[in-house]
Amino acid sequence: MSNPTVTSWKLSLTHGQKTATPATTGRRPGLVVAPGSSNNGPVTSQPTTAAPTATSEALFARARSVTPGGVNSPVRAFTAVGGTPRFIASAEGPYLTDVDGNSLVDLVGSWGPMLLGHAHPEVVEAVARAAAAGTSYGAPALAEVELAEEIVERAPVEQVRLVSSGTEATMSAIRLARGVTGRELVVKFAGCYHGHVDALLASAGSGVATFGLPGTPGVPEAATAATLVLPYNDRAAVEAAFAEHGERIACLITEAAPGNMGAIPPDEGFNRFLAETCAAHGALMISDEVMTGFRVSRSGYHGIDGAGWRPDLMTFGKVMGGGFPAAAFGGREEVMAQLAPSGPIYQAGTLSGNPVAATAGLTTLRLASDEVYAHLDATAERVQGLVTEALTQASVPHVVQAAGNLFSVFFVQDAEAARGVTRIRDFAGAQAQATHRFRAFFHAMLEQGVYLPPSAFEAWFVSAAHDDAAIDRIAAALPRAAVAAATARPDTEGKA
């Protein structure tokens, strides 16, 4: 049945003020930015039966004709949840506005970088000045030196090399570790994601420790044959692997607190144990803080969990780029000195240290004060409490879990709930979720103007711009979403 023609809205920008102007459409209006709102101001809602998505649908069809799957990173395609991905027209503060004019409270934050919220005026101003001075030089510039100094001041590293992506950072760190040690084997954990490096796209087998098998077509077995995959948070597996292969292990790489199988913090003392084990066997420990770095504290997860130890190498990304393609890896000076041109291990990048990206990251970090981190922590805790309350009232089995202000909701199976499962410790636990409940929950939230990560295996992100108005919208959407999760049933193929 077709909807009657109603008045919808389109957004325009006039002298820095967002205004909403009527436009004719054949669908009902969704959530819209209030006329005259600016500087992350309040958002009002209009009653809806379904948010309009016609323009996103058309763009998705258009994109699929020229881009594999219609997206440039797989999770954006909504494959895990179904439906049409929202194409975004603009973003400000804690809100996204899609091409159909729907305003969405954003709990993705570009997958982490938007620590201060979208389009922070001081970041935008600094970027505009940098771009006006030239967008790329292919030569050293002040901004990259200042960004490196800021990272060294915050993190337990003595030198850093700037690159353009988290994948590039982890790939380079592993090459450096292999070059420094003269060894080949790499140890990683099942469920920890370190970018789409061939050697790290390995899946664990059924044994306690398994040499990696490629996790995707296109990666030859030889590329993962030197990767040893262990279950996360399993000290015995680590001890066994190093006992058998210690003289061949170049490095162990781990997310400081995994966020790519949902937020799964390390057991108490686990990261320190890893560092000590690596040191005892002459291997290097690489702590991947691409996701947690400068987000969960001014020093990343190491600021929460780093007492008495430090990794040999660290990788950074997301927040340190302020929303631009920028990343880094760093460590002890004697290790970093082995990189060209100081040493023999080659690494290079045309756009590494790009002046615009470095300016965005530097400005973001300088604005990330203690007050900002206190707000992030309080906001994350508040949202977690609201989610727990709504799901509990709807009798939905779940675990809400956090690593600092990074958090996830695990929709545990009824049988797990009956066993009293209160914590997810590893990838096997994360995989056991009732994902059909998440799909229903996701879409019910989206229909009410709240944008969650479109996968049950991703972390949620808040920003310094999430204020009472944004939290109120999340709170208002949760009861209906919780009921949707409670009444959801597995699909006809028998998937969870």
Q: Is residue 137 among the annotated active site residues?
A: no
Q: Is residue 495 among the annotated active site residues?
A: no
CA distances to 43, 47, 97, 452 from 50, in Å: 18, 9, 16, 17
- DSSP classification of residue 84: P
Catalytic residue (one of 318, 373, 426, 451): 318
Residue 11: partners with Cβ closer than 8 Å, 6 or more residues away: 18, 19, 20, 21, 32, 33, 89, 90, 97, 101
Catalytic residue (one of 98, 288, 312, 426): 288
User: What is the Cα–Cα distance from 33 to 96, expressed in whole angstroms?
Assistant: 10
Assigned token pair, 41: 């101001």
The secondary element (H helix, E strand) that includes residue 265 is none
The secondary element (H helix, E strand) that includes residue 54 is helix 54-64
In 119-229, alpha helices (H): 121-132, 142-154, 166-181, 221-224
Contact 48, 28 (CB under 8 A): yes
Determine the 3-state secondary structure of 118 from DSSP.
Answer: strand
Contact 470, 94 (CB under 8 A): yes
> Is the preceding peptide bond at 341 cis, omega within 30 degrees of 0?
yes
User: What is the Cα–Cα distance from 222 to 226, expressed in whole angstroms?
Assistant: 8
Q: Is residue 301 among the annotated active site residues?
A: no
Catalytic residue (one of 100, 106, 193, 305): 193
End-to-end CA distance of the chain: 32
Give the active site residues: 193, 288, 318
